[in-house]
Amino acid sequence: MANETNNFAELISHCKEYGYIFQSSEIYDGLAAVYDYGQNGAQLKKNIRDYWWKSMTQMHDNIVGIDAAIFMHPTTWKASGHVDNFSDPMIDNKDSNKRYRVDHLIEGFADEQSAAGNGQLAEEVLKSMDALLAKDDYAGLKKLIEDNKMKCSISKTCNWTEVRQFNLMFSTEFGAVASDNPDDNKVYLRPETAQGIFVNFLNVQKTGRMKIPFGIAQTGKAFRNEIVARQFIFRMREFEQMEMQFFIRPGSQMEWYNFWKNERKKWHESIGIPAEKLRFHDHVKLAHYADAALDIEFEFPFGWKELEGIHSRTDFDLKQHQEYSKKKMQYFDNDIDPVTNKPYGNYIPYVVETSVGLDRLFLTIISLSYAEEKWNKEDGTEDSRVVLKIPAKIAPTKLAILPLVKKDGLPEIARQLMDECKSSFMCFYEEKDAIGKRYRRMDAIGTPFCVTIDHQTKEDNTVTIRYRDTMVQERIALSDVKKLVLEKIS
Ligand code: ATP
């Protein structure tokens, strides 16, 4: 497992070496906090996304999925509060001009203190930070930073500016018409996918004849001009979210909030994350739209951090869109209220949101899967391998088909097996190099099953199947290969 900080650098270079993640525009020295997914990474990402999509939409008969555009009418972001509120307190070091998000600077200090054995100080500092952030007390935050002599990592000085707000939305110009006022053509790159769901709430409700409670799910890109982008794909400026807004009756939000809190934790366990590596963290400072919020945190190689947010967003967003668009966002509920014995009638629904970052989930899976293993062979010499133990159901390639030699009719049998399997799951064919070397390459890529076609196959129609995690090999009928792999990945 890579849950040791010193393995994190190796994990990052492994991701590059085996076609999982490349720095964006690397030949031009890259672009900070933007990454490209390679041939294996794109497939793993797609498998995770598909798993989420299927469990949200196919496995819940009251959740449907949409795909809204990244560009939205600029008033959307005024209504949602992002133009005025989507900002983080930041502070600049006057000597290095390096800008920090205040919470990151303080959390970094707390991590250092914990590592140095000053756990109590770390806890006190974090507690004070939470309280000051909750009150938007910027002078207090600056004092906390100065009193604890928190230093800039570059200049190593404590020479700080005032704490200020910094809006995280990217903007660009829309259309070809030039205007003297740049704000006329200004559009934003969406900082969350949720608003595409809110503005389509009635379209989906009416055309899908949806009855409350129901959900709308969506996956897609989001963009944030993060001040401090760090820790590989954990915090990016362009990333992908998988969000679901669950529309409910006002007053029932705590019931659904608790339901989705537990449901989403169970889902993370179902994808292969051990329960002890997940925990809940309740928010002290609530976002402008929420009446309850928590994070599902995962123990990343660099500590416990947010993987998914569960937010009770009240009727804030729909109400705001109703006000700004002057279009009714109401739902007529003809179910009978047992208290009044009358239909519930017209109301603006409340919303509970589940919002998980696809890239963060990718990092979770890959950091759990990465292992450097060493063992003694029977002859007493040491052997080793680097393996990605990605759960078979989401592994990019499921089966490697390897003829032992490039002759004697073995490639033909292997090609036939490829043709039989490739429409059902992702296969990989390789005939170069010694078989041991090919197994190691498949381990490093995370392919859960390898099948070797050898001379015995020609005699009795059996093959050797090798299991990635245990390295156990067994002989099975050639005709059983597809069935066995399908069973293991379903
Ligand atoms: P953080 O506190 O880490 O900045 P957040 O609370 O702003 O995250 P949300 O707005 O709740 O995040 O977004 C929902 C999810 O989107 C997060 O749980 C995370 O998985 C993902 N996410 C948010 N910002 C980023 C980012 N910059 N890079 C990658 N994933 C992100």
Q: Within a domain: residue 386?
A: no
* Atom 30, ligand 1: residue with shortest CA distance: 357
Query: Which tokens go with 185?
Result: 């053509």
Q: Do 188 and 218 have their domain in common? A: yes
CA–CA gap between residue 445 and residue 439 (Å, rounded): 10
CA distances for 333 relative to 6, 205, 320, 373, angstroms: 56, 12, 21, 59
> Which of 88-102, 207-221, 340-354, 472-486 is the least confident region?
88-102
Checking if the pLDDT of 187 tops 80, the result is yes
> Which of 226-235, 307-316, 320-329, 371-380 is the least confident region?
226-235
Q: Within a domain: residue 457?
A: yes
Q: Within a domain: residue 234?
A: yes
Q: Do 292 and 403 have their domain in common? A: no
Minimum-distance ligand 1 atom for the alpha carbon of 235: 28
For residue 153, give the nearest of 235, 228, 233 by alpha carbon: 228
* Atom 12, ligand 1: residue with shortest CA distance: 309
CA–CA gap between residue 175 and residue 73 (Å, rounded): 13
Q: How far is the centre of ligand 1, averaged over its atoms, from the C-alpha of 415 (Å)? A: 44
CA distances for 105 relative to 136, 220, 224, 235, 246, angstroms: 16, 30, 19, 15, 35
Does residue 235's CB lie within 6 angstroms of at least one atom of ligand 1? Answer: yes
Output phi, psi for 180, to 5 deg. Answer: -70, -30
> With bands split at pLDDT 50, 70 and 90, how would you rate the model's confidence at 253?
very high
Tell me the residue range of the domain where 91 lies: 87-167
Cβ-based neighbours of 400, under 8 Å, separated by 6 or more: 427, 428, 429, 430, 438, 442, 447, 449, 450, 451
Average pLDDT over residues 193-210: 97
Q: Do 148 and 277 have their domain in common? A: no
Q: Within a domain: residue 371?
A: no
Average pLDDT over residues 357-382: 95
Checking if the pLDDT of 2 tops 60, the result is no
Q: How far is the centre of ligand 1, averaged over its atoms, from the C-alpha of 55 (Å)? A: 21
Q: How far is the centre of ligand 1, averaged over its atoms, from the C-alpha of 357 (Å)? A: 6
pLDDT of amino acid 225:
92
CA–CA gap between residue 251 and residue 423 (Å, rounded): 48
Checking if the pLDDT of 184 tops 80, the result is no
Last residue of a domain, one of 133, 167, 201: 167
Average pLDDT over residues 428-435: 95
pLDDT of amino acid 4:
37
Q: Within a domain: residue 385?
A: no
Q: Do 308 and 235 have their domain in common? A: yes
pLDDT, one tens digit per residue, over 52-100 is 999 999 999 999 999 999 999 999 999 999 998 888 899 999 999 998 9
Checking if the pLDDT of 16 tops 90, the result is yes
Does residue 450's CB lie within 6 angstroms of at least one atom of ligand 1? Answer: no
Does residue 356's CB lie within 6 angstroms of at least one atom of ligand 1? Answer: yes
CA–CA gap between residue 455 and residue 450 (Å, rounded): 17
First to last CA, the chain: 25
Checking if the pLDDT of 111 tops 50, the result is yes
* Atom 25, ligand 1: residue with shortest CA distance: 235
For residue 135, give the CATH number of its domain.
3.30.40.230
Does residue 268's CB lie within 6 angstroms of at least one atom of ligand 1? Answer: no
Q: Do 118 and 72 have their domain in common? A: no
> With bands split at pLDDT 50, 70 and 90, how would you rate the model's confidence at 226?
confident
Q: How far is the centre of ligand 1, averaged over its atoms, from the C-alpha of 287 (Å)? A: 13
The percentage of residues in the chain with a pLDDT greater than 90, rounded to a whole number, is 86
Q: Looking at the 3D structure of the chain, how many domains does it have? A: 3
Does residue 36's CB lie within 6 angstroms of at least one atom of ligand 1? Answer: no
pLDDT of amino acid 350:
98
pLDDT of amino acid 5:
40
Q: Where are the alpha helices (DSSP H) in 306-430?
A: 316-325, 358-369, 410-421
Q: Within a domain: residue 445?
A: yes
Q: Do 326 and 224 have their domain in common? A: yes
Contact 427, 415 (CB under 8 A): no
CA–CA gap between residue 83 and residue 76 (Å, rounded): 9
Q: How far is the centre of ligand 1, averaged over its atoms, from the C-alpha of 254 (Å)? A: 22
> With bands split at pLDDT 50, 70 and 90, how would you rate the model's confidence at 3?
very low
Q: Do 459 and 322 have their domain in common? A: no
* Atom 21, ligand 1: residue with shortest CA distance: 357
CA distances for 256 relative to 311, 353, 400, angstroms: 10, 10, 44
Q: How far is the centre of ligand 1, averaged over its atoms, from the C-alpha of 364 (Å)? A: 14
Does residue 359's CB lie within 6 angstroms of at least one atom of ligand 1? Answer: yes
Does residue 236's CB lie within 6 angstroms of at least one atom of ligand 1? Answer: yes
Contact 249, 237 (CB under 8 A): no
Q: Within a domain: residue 139?
A: yes
Does residue 86's CB lie within 6 angstroms of at least one atom of ligand 1? Answer: no
Query: Which tokens go with 300?
Result: 């990343």
Q: Where are the beta strands (DSSP E) in 46-113?
A: 63-65, 87-92, 99-101
Pocket test of ligand 1: the residue of 85, 225, 241, 288 to mutate, having most ligand atoms within 8 Å of its CB, is: 241
Q: How many CB atoms lie within 10 A of CB 302?
A: 15
Q: Do 469 and 352 have their domain in common? A: no
Checking if the pLDDT of 446 tops 90, the result is yes
For residue 208, give the CATH number of its domain.
3.30.930.10
pLDDT of amino acid 286:
83
Checking if the pLDDT of 223 tops 90, the result is yes
Q: How far is the centre of ligand 1, averaged over its atoms, from the C-alpha of 144 (Å)? A: 25
pLDDT of amino acid 185:
81
> Which of 198-207, 220-229, 443-452, 471-480 is the least confident region?
220-229
For residue 433, give the CATH number of its domain.
3.40.50.800
Last residue of a domain, one of 137, 167, 197: 167
Q: Do 331 and 241 have their domain in common? A: yes
Does residue 354's CB lie within 6 angstroms of at least one atom of ligand 1? Answer: no
Q: How far is the centre of ligand 1, averaged over its atoms, from the C-alpha of 204 (Å)? A: 26
Contact 141, 134 (CB under 8 A): no
Query: Which tokens go with 245?
Result: 């807004």
pLDDT of amino acid 6:
52
pTM: 0.89
Q: Do 297 and 354 have their domain in common? A: yes
Last residue of a domain, one of 324, 349, 365: 365
Output phi, psi for 173, to 5 deg. Answer: -100, 145
Q: Within a domain: residue 370?
A: no
The percentage of residues in the chain with a pLDDT greater than 70, rounded to a whole number, is 97
pLDDT of amino acid 289:
80
Minimum-distance ligand 1 atom for the alpha carbon of 226: 27
Q: Do 152 and 193 have their domain in common? A: no
Q: Do 289 and 341 have their domain in common? A: yes
